[in-house]
Amino acid sequence: MRHIVSSILLALSLCVVAMTTAQAQGLPTTTTSSSSAPEAVEINPEEMTTEAINAMVARMSDDEVRAVLLDRLDAVAAAQSEEAAPKSLVERATNLWHAFSQPLLGAVRKLPALVPAQITAFQNFAETYGGFGGVLTLFGLTALLLAVGLGVEYAVRTWLIKVRNPEPAESGATLRESVTFLFKRFLREIFGLVIFYITIRTLGRTFLDAQAVTFVAPFIGYMIWMPRIAAAFSRFLMAPNRPDLRLVNVNDHWASFIHRHIIGIVILGGATIFVVDFNVVNGVAAGETRIGFWIDSMVYVYIAYVAWTAREGLSEMMRGDDPDRTEFDESVARIYPYFAMGVAGATWVLVSTLIGLGKVQLLLGGAHYTTMFWLLIAPVIDTGIRGLVRHVVPPMQGEGQVAHDAYIATKRSYVRIGRVIAVGAVLVIITRTWNVSLLSLLQEGAGIGDNLFSFAMTAIVGYVVYEGVSLYINRRLAAEMTALGMSQEDADNEMGGGGGSRLSTVLPLALVTAQGAIIVVFTLLAIGNLGVDITPLLAGAGIAGLAIGFGAQKLVTDVVSGVFFLVDDAFRVGEYVEIEGTMGAVEKISIRSMQLRHHRGPVHTIPYGEIPKLTNYSRDWVIMKLKFTVPFDTNPNQVKKIFKKIGQEMLQEELYKDDFLQPFKSQGVFDFDDVGMIIRGKFMAKPGKQFMIRKEIYNRVKAEFNAAGIDFARREVRVALPDGAKDLPEAEKTALTAAAAAAAQQQEEQAAAAPAKGPD
């Protein structure tokens, strides 16, 4: 309220001053009162004091004061409404097009004056330094300074090489050796450039006057110093003369081409700034010839030319040599040359538009060049991040598809985190280059800016938490010895082998659950930071949860049962289990069900709530019992020695010794039947390894029995005929034999259907 009253009093005072001034100058004034106007007093507005204003107001009637105040307030309101009237989209587009086109048209119109004005600048330059002889002297001193600076730099760099030679021992160096060599060479070049700069600066300020320094310093800085720094960076990355140490995936031809033209682009960009400063210092204004506009435009054309010519090399460089590239990486590699051309064109349009809007001061510090550089280098940084992650992340320690997928996911998490950091850093650099603070820019928008900033910070924190949890779980999962489903050997054995660890079973579910929870929580928090009331969303989610709970009780039962099965560690991925007659290896688990892969191929999906009992054939250890039927006259002790010999031999072999928990040995005579004695042997092995061991034991037992003269018992059918039946016809003898064989077959089937005697 106090501000409103102050504004009204100020407006009233200004109105009074305006009326007084108008009356003093003989201008007509109007009032709504019928009374006579107050006597005019000639007072200079600059000399108005509080007492004078109060005195003038005291002479006016209330109606006059009210009329003047309303009139001025109406005028101020009309002016404000006219200024605040938003421009249409067409008007804005028209203004931008006018701002963009005017610099180009102006530069074209001033082309005839370009050469004469440049000659004038050279003439003024020559007159400043005493004519042609003075210019030659200046050029000679400049060349001498360069020669001395380069000589000192060369001597220092040669001394550094003698002190410590960074050359690697072999051409086929490792990545660490290559980076070490290139980095040391880069530091040596930068140190040499520092020595060069110090030498030039010291000698220049000693032997040159202030007028000469204004020419020599920009010339050396923009045309020599900056290109040499760019060459050092490019040589570190491209290594055009050392393909065996090159850090980017590009061949020799394109490495040399890109290296040369990077230096050329920097020289041309430095020439833009140097020529404009040179003309201004020598009496030719920047807008008089617009030569800076044409040289600057040549920089963008040069970049587009390099990107188009070397598009194959640039794509290969962006693609890298990482075998785990995604489709996104391939797309970035393909479009990068065209992206570079687009950035060059967009920068040219931006510069022209800013010139047309009269904001040339933003370009004087080279902000557009810095922006273009970081936009062009951003995909290269992304490639560097992928290459660094490839070499920094430890190799996969687990086995199987799950471990491989977790390893790839771990690498991608590191890449995404690196990308977020790189994008943030590039944005900060670009905004600071244009003298813009993101935080102050958001705060200027009052409530909307604060909400957007809070929303962005919440989203960033949520993303970091999401990637951090995913990274941790994937690293743990990749370290587990995991085999998804059954191998072909397990399928041939008609029963699954050993499963993965408990972590390899639980971690995928934990990852999905944690990711879903993080997305939901931080999405709600971010929406709340935008000023949206999330209470109805939470209430709706609660009601929807109750509806799902009542309407899908079976689903709740499946989920809860699955949680308790996992807590009990009843099964793991890869283990062979049986559920109510359904058998198979656990291939996949989800929140509500599990999938079993039968050894013949079919996949059974079983909800957890429908599992009354689960039998696990792959937990901890397996005992395999083998039966051998031998004739009645076989010596059991001889068979026992053979079994013990086979067990000891297999314990000594590399292929089997680690799979045994107990060696193969005899259990003696187990039973008698009509054929012979049943002798049983057994061994204990790791789950999934018993089948391979069993096959080998069968082969060795058969070979040892043959060597010892022991035959396996064979089932025989003996038909006893009475003495008078020897003369029976052959047809009747055949019929009697067939009947006896059928009876024997029936007895076998009955024996097989009968339960086994004693514990197995």
DSSP of 143-207, one letter per residue?
Answer: HHHHHHHHHHHHHHHHHHHHH-----SSSS--HHHHHHHHHHHHHHHHHHHHHHHHHHHHHHHHH
Residues 567 and 563: their CA atoms lie apart, in Å, by 6
| pLDDT tens per residue across span 281-336 | 888 887 788 888 888 889 999 999 999 999 898 888 888 777 777 888 888 888 98
Identify residue 191 by its one-letter amino acid code.
F
Question: Each residue of 221-248: b (16+ CB within 10 Å) or e?
Answer: ebbbbbbbebbbebbbbbbbebeebbbb
Confidence at residue 402, expressed as pLDDT on a 0 to 100 scale: 60
Tokens of residue 242, six digits = 């050392």
* Phi, psi (degrees; rounded to nearest 5) at 605: -105, 120
DSSP string, 215-241: HHHHHHIIIIIHHHHHHHHHHHHH-TT
Identify residue 138 by its one-letter amino acid code.
L
* Phi, psi (degrees; rounded to nearest 5) at 499: -90, -175
| pLDDT tens per residue across span 572-599 | 777 788 888 788 888 777 777 888 888 7
Residues 289 and 276: their CA atoms lie apart, in Å, by 10
Tell which phi-psi region holds residue 283, choosing left (phi > 0), alpha (psi between -120 and 50) or beta: left
Cα–Cα distance list, 419 to 342, 390, 409, 464 (Å): 21, 14, 15, 12
Identify residue 161 by its one-letter amino acid code.
I
Matching residue, tokens 């785990």: 324
Confidence at residue 229, expressed as pLDDT on a 0 to 100 scale: 92
Q: How many other β-carbons are positioned within 10 Å of the β-carbon of residue 457?
A: 12
Confidence at residue 309, expressed as pLDDT on a 0 to 100 scale: 93
Task: Please state, for a pLDDT cut of 70, what percent of the chain lies above it.
Answer: 71
Strand partners, 630: 677
* Phi, psi (degrees; rounded to nearest 5) at 428: -65, -45
Confidence at residue 732, expressed as pLDDT on a 0 to 100 scale: 65
DSSP helix/strand/coil, 714: coil
Residues comprising the chain, all counted: 760
Tokens of residue 121, six digits = 């600048």
Residue 55 has pLDDT above 90, yes or no: no
| pTM higher than the cut 0.85 | no
Residue 441 has pLDDT above 70, yes or no: no
Could you tell me which residue, 739 or 633, shows the higher pLDDT? 633
In 3D, which of 161, 122, 163 has the Cα closest to residue 139?
122
Could you tell me which residue, 631 or 731, shows the higher pLDDT? 631
Q: What is the average pLDDT score of the chain?
A: 76
Q: How many other β-carbons are positioned within 10 Å of the β-carbon of residue 40?
A: 15
Confidence at residue 750, expressed as pLDDT on a 0 to 100 scale: 62
Matching residue, tokens 């995913």: 470
Least confident of 317-331, 335-349, 402-416: 402-416
Tokens of residue 662, six digits = 């107990």
Q: Which of 335-339, 523-527, 609-613 ranks highest by mean pLDDT? A: 335-339
Helices then strands, each counted (H, E), the chain: 25, 8
In 3D, which of 300, 477, 473 has the Cα closest to residue 375?
300
Q: How many other β-carbons are positioned within 10 Å of the β-carbon of residue 411?
A: 21
DSSP string, 590-620: -SSEEEEE-TTS-EEEEEGGG-S--EESSSS
Residues 554 and 607: their CA atoms lie apart, in Å, by 10
Residues 465 and 467: their CA atoms lie apart, in Å, by 6
Going 441 to 443 to 447 to 452, the CA torsion angle's sign is positive
- What confidence category does residue 436 fall into, taking pLDDT thresholds of 50, 70 and 90? low
Residue 544 has pLDDT above 70, yes or no: no
| pLDDT tens per residue across span 241-255 | 888 878 778 888 988
Residues 483 and 398: their CA atoms lie apart, in Å, by 9
Tokens of residue 5, six digits = 């009253």
**C-beta of residue 241 within 8 angstroms of C-beta of residue 171:** no
3-state helix, strand, coil in the chain (%, to 5): 70, 10, 25
Confidence at residue 11, expressed as pLDDT on a 0 to 100 scale: 44
Residues 321 and 324: their CA atoms lie apart, in Å, by 9
Confidence at residue 7, expressed as pLDDT on a 0 to 100 scale: 44
Residues 239 and 247: their CA atoms lie apart, in Å, by 8
Tokens of residue 134, six digits = 């003075």
Alpha helices in 530-605 (DSSP H): 535-551, 553-567
